[in-house]
Structure 1
Amino acid sequence: MANITAAMVKDLREKTGAGMMDCKTALNETGGDIEAAIDWLRKKGLSKAAKKSDRVAAEGLVGVAVSGVNGVVVEVNSETDFVARNEEFQALVKTIALVAVEKGESDVAALKNQHYPGGAGAVADAISNAIATIGENMTLRRVAALGVSDGVIGQYVHNAISDGLGKIGVIVALESTGDKVQLADLGRKIAMHVAAASPLALDASGLDPATLEREKNVLREKNAGKPAHVLDKIVESGLKTYFKEVTLVEQAYIHDNGKTVGQAVAEAAKAVGAPVALKGFARYALGEGIEKQEADFAAEVAAAASGQA
Structure 2
Amino acid sequence: MAITASMVKDLRTKTGAGMMDCKKALSATNGDMDKAIDFLREKGLAAAAKKADRIAAEGLVYSYIHGNGRIGVLVEVNCETDFVAQTANFKDLCKDIAMQIAAANPTYLKREDVPQEVLDHEKEVLRQQALNEGKPEKIVEKMMVGRLEKFYKENCLLEQEFIKDSDKTIQQVITENIAKIGEKIDIRRYSRYELGEGLEKRNDDFVSEVMAQAK
Q: TM-score, structure 1 length as denominator? A: 0.42
Q: Give the residue type in structure 1 aligned to 2:126.
A: L
Cα 1:211–1:291 change in 2 (3 A) is farther
Partner residue, 1:277: 186
Looking at structure 2, the residues matched to 288 and 208 of structure 1 have their Cα atoms a distance apart, in angstroms, of 23
Please, which of 121, 124, 137 is the counterpart of residue 214 of structure 1?
Answer: 121
Q: Please state how far the C-alpha of 1:226 moved relative to its aligned partner.
A: 4.1
Identity value in percent: 35
Conserved? CA contact 1:153–1:184, under 8 Å: no
1:168 and 2:71 matched: yes
SS of residue matched to 1:221: helix
Partner residue, 1:198: 105
SS of residue matched to 2:152: helix
SS of residue matched to 1:159: coil
Q: Please state how far the C-alpha of 1:291 moved relative to its aligned partner.
A: 4.7
Q: Please state how far the C-alpha of 1:227 moved relative to its aligned partner.
A: 4.3
Conserved? CA contact 1:154–1:186, under 8 Å: no
Higher helix share: 2
Q: Please state how far the C-alpha of 1:267 moved relative to its aligned partner.
A: 0.8
Partner residue, 2:198: 289
- Residue deviations 1:45-92, cap 9 Å, x none? xxxxxxxxxxxxxxxxxxxxxxxxxxxxxxxxxxxxxxxxxxxxxxxx
Give the total of aligned pairs: 140
Looking at structure 2, the residues matched to 210 and 291 of structure 1 have their Cα atoms a distance apart, in angstroms, of 28
Q: Please state how far the C-alpha of 1:208 moved relative to its aligned partner.
A: 3.8
C-alpha root-mean-square deviation of aligned residues, in Å? 2.0
Q: Considering only CA atoms, is the larger Rg found in Structure 1 or Structure 2?
A: 1
Please, which of 49, 52, 59 is the counterpart of residue 151 of structure 1?
Answer: 59
Conserved? CA contact 1:245–1:251, under 8 Å: yes
**Larger relative contact order (C-alpha < 8 A, sep ≥ 6)?**
2
Conserved? CA contact 2:57–2:80, under 8 Å: no
Q: TM-score, structure 2 length as denominator? A: 0.59
SS of residue matched to 1:212: helix
Matches within 5 A, 1:1-309: 149-160=57-68, 166-178=69-81, 179-180=84-85, 181=87, 182-224=89-131, 226-291=135-200
Conserved? CA contact 1:156–1:188, under 8 Å: yes
Looking at structure 2, the residues matched to 270 and 243 of structure 1 have their Cα atoms a distance apart, in angstroms, of 25
Gaps of 5+ in 1: 1-147, 161-165, 293-309
